[in-house]
Amino acid sequence: MFVPALGLPRVEVQPGNRYATKAPADIKTLLGSCVAACLYDPIAKVAGLNHFLLAAPRYSRSMPFTATDAGRYGIHAMELLITDMQKLGAQRKNLRAKIFGGASVLGFGGPDRFNCVSEVNQRFIRDYLATENIPIMSEDLGGSLGRVIHFQSDSFKVLRRFIQKSQTEVIEKGELSYWKTAVETKKPGEGEAILF
């Protein structure tokens, strides 16, 4: 049964953001094709969660590198979270991970509309953690349903609840809105340097 921790202060992490703490907290996020990494150092008692939308800015040939905040990209989101945790006393060598998300909730296709965001996000997070020698203690990736995640920073437990397909409209709208803003609205030539 899905029961978030009672009495813990709740912090909600939006897409592209992160949160690290040494204090007890219930860190919550809502995932579709996005991925959340719940990291913790059991020795220093530091925990944190990030929520990234894309593994990297190479989902489309026309995707500008500066279209969004760095935290929206997995490679930056991971380093930003780890840095925040190290500032609180965590050591990289002690980090452990629990990873969630990467569901196939988006339904677009075409050559410039990268239609396997969830698959690439899953591959990225596994590869990144393997490269950094951060063990994955548990994971719940893939599928077609969104998820609500509650990460309890005092016990390092994660509670996951699936969102039924009929309720994923909010996730789909948010992710499609991001995609249209970041990828489709850039006009050719906009932001290019003029060489002389």
Q: Cβ of 8: how many Cβ atoms within 10 Å?
A: 17
Note if the pTM is more than 0.95: no
The pLDDT assigned to 11 comes to 95
The pLDDT assigned to 75 comes to 82
What does each of the 196 residues of the chain score in pLDDT, given as a tens digit? 445 556 789 999 998 899 999 999 999 999 988 899 999 999 999 999 999 887 665 544 444 444 444 445 778 889 999 999 999 999 999 999 999 998 887 655 444 444 577 788 888 899 999 999 999 999 999 988 899 999 999 999 999 999 876 655 655 555 555 555 544 444 444 444 443 3
The pLDDT assigned to 169 comes to 60
The class (CATH top level) of 10-163 is alpha beta
User: Measuring CA to CA, how many Å separate 19 from each of 42, 51, 105, 184?
Assistant: 17, 9, 25, 30
Closest C-alpha among 154, 136, 159 to residue 42: 154
Q: Cβ of 148: how many Cβ atoms within 10 Å?
A: 16
SS3 for 63-105, per residue?
Answer: CCCCCCCHHHEHHHHHHHHHHHHHHCCCCHHHCEEEEEECCCC
The pLDDT assigned to 40 comes to 98
CB burial class (10 A; 0-12, 13-18, 19+) of residue 1?
A: exposed
Domain assignments of the chain as residue spans, ordered by start: 10-163
Contacts 24+ apart (CB under 8 A), 173-179: 174/15, 174/32, 175/32, 175/33, 175/34, 175/53, 175/105, 175/106, 176/106, 176/108, 178/15, 178/53, 178/68, 178/72, 179/106, 179/108, 179/113
Closest C-alpha among 24, 181, 13, 182 to residue 100: 13
Contact at 8 Å (CB) between 47 and 5? Answer: no
